[in-house]
Amino acid sequence: MDVNQEKLKTELLTVNMGPQHPATHGVLRVEIKTDSEIVAEAIPHIGYLHRCKEKHSESLDYRGVIPYVDRMDYLAAMNMELGYCLTIEKMLGTEVPKRATYIRMVCAELQRIASHLMFFGTYAIDLGAFSPFLYAFQKREEILRLFEEFSGARLLYNYIWIGGVWNDITDKHIERILKFCDELSEELKKYDTLVSQNRIFIERTANVGLISQTLCYEYGLTGPLLRGSGIKWDLRKNRPYCFYDKMEFEIPVGLGEKGTLGDCYDRYSVRMREMIESIKIIRQCLQGIEAGPVMGKVAKVLKVPAGEIYFRTECPRGELGYHLISDGSKKPYRLKVKSSCFTHVSVLPELAPGQMIADLVATIGSIDIVLGEVDR
């Protein structure tokens, strides 16, 4: 058969993954160009959940912004509120009562656990396992019930206010939180046996979606992605806020234990170990909590002094920064949010080429993005 090999051409096939696709974890569309099962290029398209949050902030008073920050990372609303309120309080010079600070930290760490449980369950589904999802949601539900009792809401709380928290917690709540910590410590051992040591799960995640330390610095990656690549950086330790400087806990980093340092398994492992550290922090907070007020002295009409500030906190998905410019009025002149999820989506075109489509699903899941924070 006489065929001129030079005249043979192949054409890349364009496949749209999303925006209605469970593996994209929200309304993200990834335009994939494939050569058979191999990804040649992946282009993320965002903006499907854009709500003009930053522009809205210019028309609201400082308290009125809090429900809007809830809706950025809606799986970690407590963390969104905490960062915003700390930013305003620093500009005002507001002193937050000790009890309120401890309650804030407990809520922030419970929210981190709830977020990581969501990651654990949905990531297992991405890779073909269903039972872990049910276990994770069962424990997450206990956290949501506590939050509902604190704030009246299950997902978007408006609980952390400028100057403290909206509502106090009771001794019964403290008992339930401690009981939850004890139970979760045992549950995590079960998750380790069920998923972390599962041969199929390891095959799907080890040596997949490698993020080098150089790539972390080039793209400004933070949170579990940065620590998953072996870089020990956590704002709670390196730039402490609240009472984190008084807490004893470790910063889990990727070890390359099942594959290569910086792979999907390392990012998964970091989040699982972070839950153990969050339990330690919660227990220390509840030991140190004292009776007292939960709101500091804050004016009824807030007017932030003219000036500029950038404040960042360690959220479940990475560093969240608020850049506030105040003109001295009762509304922000400009409130820019630096989102870790937006940064993490940007690295996807670097990771995708050469992967199989199934491995791209594992990579997107390991990045763990929330589109409400990406689009804002």
> Which tokens is 337 given?
């949010």
pLDDT in tens, the chain (376 residues): 455 656 666 788 888 887 887 777 778 899 999 988 899 999 999 988 888 888 999 999 999 999 999 999 999 999 999 999 999 999 999 999 999 999 999 999 999 999 999 999 999 998 888 899 999 999 999 999 999 999 999 999 999 999 999 999 999 999 999 999 999 999 999 999 999 999 999 999 999 989 999 999 999 999 999 999 999 999 999 999 999 999 999 999 999 888 899 999 999 999 999 999 999 999 999 998 989 899 989 888 889 999 999 999 999 999 999 999 999 999 999 999 999 999 999 999 999 999 999 999 999 999 989 998 998 8
Instruction: Say how far apart CA 255 and CA 263 lie, in whole Å.
Output: 10
Instruction: Say how far apart CA 367 and CA 216 lie, in whole Å.
Output: 12
DSSP state of 48: T
- For domain 66-301, give the CATH number: 1.10.645.10
Could you give the 3-state DSSP secondary structure of residue 343? helix
CB 240 within 8 A of CB 227: no
DSSP state of 356: B
Return the bridge partners of 207, or none: none
| Burial of residue 170, with CB atoms counted within 10 A of its CB: 0-12 exposed, 13-18 middle, 19 or more buried | exposed
Let me know how long the chain is: 376
Please compute Rg for the chain using Cα positions: 22
- pTM of the predicted model, to two decimals? 0.93
φ, ψ for residue 39, nearest 5 deg:
-80, 125
Q: Where are the domains of the chain?
A: 66-301
CB atoms within 10 A of CB 209: 25
pLDDT of residue 8: 60
DSSP state string for 227-288 = HHTT----HHHHS--TTGGG----------SSSSTTSHHHHHHHHHHHHHHHHHHHHHHHHH
pLDDT of residue 6: 61
